[in-house]
Amino acid sequence: MFGKRASQPGQAPASPMPAAPKPAPVPVLAARPAPTAARSAPVAPANPGETPRNDDYYVTKAMIFSALIEAIDLSQLSRLDPESAREEIRDIVNEIISIKNFVMSIAEQEDLLDDICNDVLGFGPLEPLLARDDIADIMVNGCNKTYIEVGGKIQLTNVRFKDNAQLMNICQRIVSQVGRRVDEASPICDARLLDGSRVNVIAPPLAIDGPTLTIRKFRKEKLTLDQLVKYGSISPEGAEILKVIGRVRCNVVISGGTGSGKTTLLNCLTNYIDEDERVITCEDAAELQLQQPHVVRLETRPPSLEGTGAISMRDLVKNCLRMRPERIIVGEVRGPEAFDLLQAMNTGHDGSMGTLHANSPREALSRVESMITMGGFSLPARTIREMLVSSIDVIVQAARLRDGSRRITHITEVMGLEGDVITTQDLFIYDIVGEDAQGKLVGRHRSTGIGRPRFWDRARYYGEEKRLAAALDAAEFGERPAGA
């Protein structure tokens, strides 16, 4: 079924259309009604002006497509640059339309042309979504349902694939760009688009309702702390505190759920690292964009098709230690590398940072503990906790709230051990006060009144104590609602 390996990079997909019999002139597309009720009705159009396509459209497209395939040499086409290839396809399709007497408006013809070009040269129906900058994630659940996340909210789109075979072809084409393969034998695959977007594919039989594709779109223009302030994710005073934390080499863990903005926040914090520091970043897929001159970027490697040659995050972090880093930045801590990162934090690599998946600062600490325990280090719990306390200075919690907004909800310090319990202190928090008429949550950021955080001396050492004190003071008395 979908296990065809016919499509190579740059080559056309195995035609997603069944070969159509020689068509008689068919007047279709003259009016394109809304999709029948039987089909899942999209709740929101993917793009204003994008028309949902009905079955007639696909029939016409299939006919034109097969005529096109007969008329052109696809391997020749793949040698052209994308612009000329597109021109070539346009000419031929226009010719087919006029020879075969398809009746359609200019706008419909343009739409069809784009659609066919996207199929032959790009990622088919995904292209319009990939071209949009406002989308954070694209989620394809089988051929009939594609969701996107815009502005923190998930919405269904009109995007459909002809069938699961076409979708599988596109998945295959995406992953083959990075020399990987996805089929029944290896149905799970991570890859990256040329623009840096992260892609995960899971195919049948594991995905029951058809190939499932998830794309975290790469955002070239990374958000800055000032923009986060503008969006109400953090108050100006909170942002000041974070700038001080980034500069004065606190060891920081950024905690949050999927898509809560952890990586974005980490990237923001790295902006405040001094230019003369040697920074090494370790990531699964390079997302961070540090502006400093002295940065070494490392990336893990998945196993080859034969299952060999994998380089794990732990391998990278361990190797880092031999590279004379001043700071180590780990994109996402998920496993035993937590141990090595804590050790690095503990042994003079102050200002190291990492993100991890947890819903509160407290949970973040227990996550690190369990990552170390499950990593096979047979250390007593107390020893691990001592290590945690002496290495992590600050936990910054990011959250995506139920109204879709992203907020920094805690800046929390790790204080010490009392008995077997790690004590923490919140410096700065976000309180939800209520909800407005549009269902948007109303809340405010405030400091908790702590005047001398544990990293005070550190701040003083870097000459940042005045700035820190001012921000903490202002946050305590600034009673203005955030996000307004």
Ligand X SMILES: Nc1ncnc2c1ncn2[C@@H]1O[C@H](COP(=O)(O)OP(=O)(O)O)[C@@H](O)[C@H]1O
Is 261 a binding residue for ligand X by CB under 6 A? The answer is: yes
CA 434 to each of CA 26, 33, 448, 480: distance values in angstroms, whole numbers, following the listed order? 58, 43, 20, 14
Handedness of CA 263, 268, 272, 275 (dihedral sign): positive
**Least gap, CB of 254 to ligand X (angstroms):** 8
Q: Are 341 and 303 in contact (CB under 8 A)?
A: no
Question: How many residues touch ligand X (CB under 6 A)?
Answer: 15
Is 136 a binding residue for ligand X by CB under 6 A? The answer is: yes
**Least gap, CB of 139 to Mg ion (angstroms):** 16
Residue span binding ligand X (CB under 6 A) among the ranges 34-42, 98-106, 256-264, 422-430: 256-264
Q: Are 201 and 191 in contact (CB under 8 A)?
A: yes
Nearer to ligand X, 42 or 354 (CB): 354
Nearer to ligand X, 158 or 260 (CB): 260
Task: Return the ∠ at Cα 220 (arms to 264 and 288), rounded to 5°.
Answer: 45
Look up tokens 């068509």; give the residue: 23
What residue spans of 49-81 are helical by DSSP H?
A: 55-71, 74-77
What 188-194 contacts at long range (C-beta under 8 Å, 24+ apart), as own/partner pairs, is 190/284, 190/285, 190/302, 192/285, 193/130, 193/218
Max Cα separation, the chain?
A: 84
Q: Which residue in the shown chain puts its C-beta closest to ligand X?
A: 261
Nearer to Mg ion, 235 or 263 (CB): 263
Nearer to ligand X, 82 or 151 (CB): 151
Is 263 a binding residue for Mg ion by CB under 5 A? The answer is: yes
**Taking the CA of residue 463 as centre, how many other CA atoms within 13 Å lie in the half-sphere pointing to its CB?**
0
The contact pattern for ligand X, residues 379-408, with x = CB under 6 A and - = no contact, is: ---------------------------x--
Is 259 a binding residue for ligand X by CB under 6 A? The answer is: yes
**Least gap, CB of 332 to Mg ion (angstroms):** 6
Residue 228 interaction partner, one of Mg ion, ligand X, none, beta carbon < 5-8 Å per kind: ligand X
Is 228 a binding residue for ligand X by CB under 6 A? The answer is: yes
Is 262 a binding residue for ligand X by CB under 6 A? The answer is: yes
Is 166 a binding residue for ligand X by CB under 6 A? The answer is: no
Tokens, residue 372: 């170390």
Judged by CB under 6 A, the chain residues 442 through 471 that form the site for ligand X are none
What residue spans of 100-180 are helical by DSSP H?
A: 106-121, 127-131, 164-176
Question: How many residues touch Mg ion (CB under 5 A)?
Answer: 1
Q: What would you report as the CA-atom Rg of the chain, rounded to the nearest whole angstrom?
A: 26
Is 212 a binding residue for Mg ion by CB under 5 A? The answer is: no
**Least gap, CB of 135 to Mg ion (angstroms):** 16
List, in sequence order, every beta strand (DSSP E) within 126-224: 135-141, 146-150, 153-156, 188-192, 198-202, 212-216
Is 211 a binding residue for ligand X by CB under 6 A? The answer is: no
Is 352 a binding residue for Mg ion by CB under 5 A? The answer is: no
Residue span binding Mg ion (CB under 5 A) among the ranges 12-20, 59-67, 172-180, 260-268: 260-268
- Distance, CA of 41 to chain centre: 27
Residue span binding ligand X (CB under 6 A) among the ranges 38-46, 258-266, 358-366, 469-477: 258-266
Please give the residue ranges that form the binding site for Mg ion (CB under 5 A). Answer: 263
Please give the residue ranges that form the binding site for ligand X (CB under 6 A). Answer: 136, 219, 223, 228, 231, 233, 256, 258-264, 406
